[in-house]
Structure 1
Amino acid sequence: VPWGYVAALQSDPTEKKPFYHLYPGSDTLTFGMLGCDLHCAYCQNWDTSQALRDADSGRLPSQVTPEKLVQLALEHKAKCVASSYNEPLITSEWAVAIFKLAKQAGLKCMYVSNGNATREVLEYIRPYTDGYKIDLKTMNDRNYRKLGMPLKGVLDSIQMVHEMGFWQEIVTLIVPGFNSSEDELCEAARFIKSVSPDIPWHVTAFHQDYKMRDPENTGVDLLIRAAEIGYEEGLHFVYAGNMPGHVGRYENTYCPNCQQLLIERYGYVILEYNITPQGTCPACQSPIPGIWPKSKDEVRVLKKQDIWFRMPRSVR
């Protein structure tokens, strides 16, 4: 079992994971190890995730203890701890050792995962894990198998994660020509709605990386259209990511009942926060699904020019 090291470690905005309905405006101490069970040609963390199969990848790991990681989280005033940068499911024993201590220290704990899970591993991590982000990469089984798993595996995981009570958010990286057709985006949105219309769906912009250099980078119009499709298919919370200031209302959170603006964002910056301490809309009192702070005073409300203060920071 991989243990006692990190290959990547930094303090990230929680919105970078991305979690938009879990402690908005907070920081998350994020650690990663080496390896992944998938081999996506466009992986943006390929230097850690592909280290066991690609000679050009890899980082020198640093030895560390769970106690030290929790100490670093507290020193950097993080409210959350996340396992990311590689596939956390393959190093779950290590994550749980950290999360046990993090929970004792009052921190929220999250997985940032490809979703190739079994019920056994989800039951193992559930007592210590609050949030679970899953990549829904495509609705085409043939394309999914090219990445290393069948489509059914991730669809089953999304269903299980929801049923087991994790707070779940789903991300689809929109890759032109790979998963960007309206039919496929509609199918993805319909599936998510069939599990729960309250699951936030993040549609994010692809940029050329690693071995995938052929498609053009995702344009603003395509990203906005993907977000529109999510709402048209009945989802309550759809976000267009990676293009701060260019996607209009699709950075923000609105009450699905009365359309009151609840959270205004600019990239990772919270510009306005209106959710009540009870987790409800201030206008119509509808409950807003998520894991919210107990007081609005806990949320850092900043200005657009503060975006540089919300960038990831290295941790040592």
Structure 2
Amino acid sequence: MKEAMFYERLEEDAVRCHLCPHECKIKESRRGICGVRENQAGVLYSLVYGKVVAEAIDPIEKKPLFHFYPGSSVYSLATVGCNFRCRNCQNYDISQMPKDKKRIMGEEKSPEEIVEIATHYNCRSIAYTYVEPTIFFEFAYDTAKLAHQAGICNIFVSNGYTTEEAIRTLAPYLDAVNVDLKSLSEELYHTNCGGHVQPVLDAIKLYKRLSIWVEVTTLVIPTLNDTEEEFRGIAEFIKDVGVDIPWHISQFYPTYKLMDLPRTPVSTLRTARNIGLEVGLRYVYEGNVPGEGNENTYCYHCGTLLIRRYGFQVLENILSEDAKCPNCGTPLDGVFCGSAQP
């Protein structure tokens, strides 16, 4: 347990949390929407500092990040809790645990231990992921600073529901982010996630302005966000922020509270990808459908196949040492070996 960052004290021992756009007013002995920030006698505490409930050594492509040290390993970790309540959450057992079961669990690990593990397994990066990492901000922040000292990059896999103050505080130590942009629909964010869309759009823009490498993922859920109008709107938004932002369009499979919906047809993903390319995005990928052929990276100028993948595995990478297309010399957008270190 550690005193939280980003809060103010109010009357009668209440506090206002400013970590995420929920801006929860939390009475004494109560917790915020995330379930892991508790007011104890007028002081807000993080209940999950150092409590790692999930961890793995992953390929960077699994985050997914396709333009950030492709083929490298990343140490992924999470605590319990989340500031969303997505009905399609694949990690609901840990993301919703503090709210559903009022339980805080996890193995005690210090920031120093996290960096030691990443170093031991030759991980290029540490990813704060599986649940919304904003809710364990203090732990991620302390770890990220130590990671940079050790030459290790930091990655957020995020729903984008983070305040500007928190993003700017973390930015000097954050190297890449994948933001889950679920829709442009306020109604979908409200009914399916318990949040609002505008803060997510603002976060994506801010990460880009702060020169953090950004990739965006959209999980395509049948009947909820699978129209051509939706695809075009998301693609145009991403293009306005930066044509170099990779867009990952992922297949939904039935889970949690949406067991009654079918898997997303591959043809729908293909339609979304084609729309993204038509709008002008340079890199659009289909996710959760390994072997379908649209997980490869091509030169946006001449079309040369640069990085060939199967699922999360890099099979071939013909980029030059300075990350350029060997055919036409066009630089590939992203962060690669030979790029500036953190």
Give yes or no for TM over 0.5.
Answer: yes
Aligned partner of 1:255 in structure 2 is 299
Deviation at 1:215, TM superposition (A): 1.3
Give the Cα–Cα distance (whole angstroms) in 2 for the partners of residues 58 and 94 of structure 1: 18
Aligned partner of 2:108 in structure 1 is 63
Q: In 1, are the aligned partners of 2:112 and 2:146 still within 8 Å (CA)?
A: yes
Deviation at 1:33, TM superposition (A): 0.8
Q: Does 1:119 align with 2:119?
A: no
Deviation at 1:242, TM superposition (A): 0.7
1:7-18 equivalent positions in 2, closer than 5 A: 7-18=53-64
Aligned partner of 1:304 in structure 2 is none
Larger radius of gyration between Structure 1 and Structure 2:
2
Q: Does 1:160 align with 2:206?
A: yes
Q: Does 1:237 align with 2:272?
A: no
Give the Cα–Cα distance (whole angstroms) in 1 for the partners of residues 271 and 230 of structure 2: 12
1:123-272 equivalent positions in 2, closer than 5 A: 123-146=168-191, 147-246=193-292, 248=293, 250-272=294-316
> Structure 1 counterpart of 2:138, which letter?
E
Q: The residue matched to 2:100 in structure 1 has which SS?
A: coil
Q: In 1, are the aligned partners of 2:147 and 2:153 still within 8 Å (CA)?
A: yes
- Provide Cα deviations, 1:48-92, integer angstroms capped at 9, x if missing partner: 11112123x968410011111111112122111010111111221
Deviation at 1:271, TM superposition (A): 1.2
Q: In 2, are the aligned partners of 1:42 and 1:212 still within 8 Å (CA)?
A: yes
Aligned partner of 2:153 in structure 1 is 108
Aligned partner of 1:75 in structure 2 is 120
Give the Cα–Cα distance (whole angstroms) in 2 for the partners of residues 71 and 277 of structure 1: 29
Identity of aligned residues (%): 40
Higher deviation after alignment, 168-177 or 93-102: 93-102
Deviation at 1:167, TM superposition (A): 0.2
Aligned partner of 2:334 in structure 1 is 290
> Structure 2 counterpart of 1:262, which letter?
L
Aligned partner of 1:313 in structure 2 is none
> Structure 2 counterpart of 1:283, which letter?
N
- Provide Cα deviations, 1:143-162, integer angstroms capped at 9, x if missing partner: 11121221111111111111
Q: In 1, are the aligned partners of 2:132 and 2:157 still within 8 Å (CA)?
A: yes
Shift in alpha-carbon separation, 1:116–1:29, aligned structure 2, 3 A: same
- Provide Cα deviations, 1:165-198, integer angstroms capped at 9, x if missing partner: 1100000001011000111111110110011111
Shift in alpha-carbon separation, 1:58–1:183, aligned structure 2, 3 A: farther
Give the Cα–Cα distance (whole angstroms) in 2 for the partners of residues 19 and 86 of structure 1: 17
Q: Select 1:6's aligned residue among 52, 59, 62.
A: 52
Give the Cα–Cα distance (whole angstroms) in 2 for the partners of residues 25 and 14 of structure 1: 7
Which consecutive segments of 4 or more residues in structure 1 shift more than 2 A? 57-60
Q: In 2, are the aligned partners of 1:7 and 1:34 still within 8 Å (CA)?
A: yes
Deviation at 1:279, TM superposition (A): 2.1
Q: In 2, are the aligned partners of 1:48 and 1:58 still within 8 Å (CA)?
A: no
Structure 2 length as normaliser, TM-score? 0.83
Specify every segment of 5 or more residues in structure 1 that has no aligned partner in the other structure, as ranges. Answer: 296-316
Q: In 2, are the aligned partners of 1:47 and 1:58 still within 8 Å (CA)?
A: no
Q: How many residues align?
A: 292
Higher helix share: 1
Q: The residue matched to 1:251 in structure 2 has which SS?
A: coil
> Structure 1 counterpart of 2:173, which letter?
Y
Specify every segment of 5 or more residues in structure 2 that has no aligned partner in the other structure, as ranges. Answer: 1-45
Q: In 2, are the aligned partners of 1:223 and 1:240 still within 8 Å (CA)?
A: yes
1:76-91 equivalent positions in 2, closer than 5 A: 76-91=121-136
Higher deviation after alignment, 124-133 or 141-150: 141-150
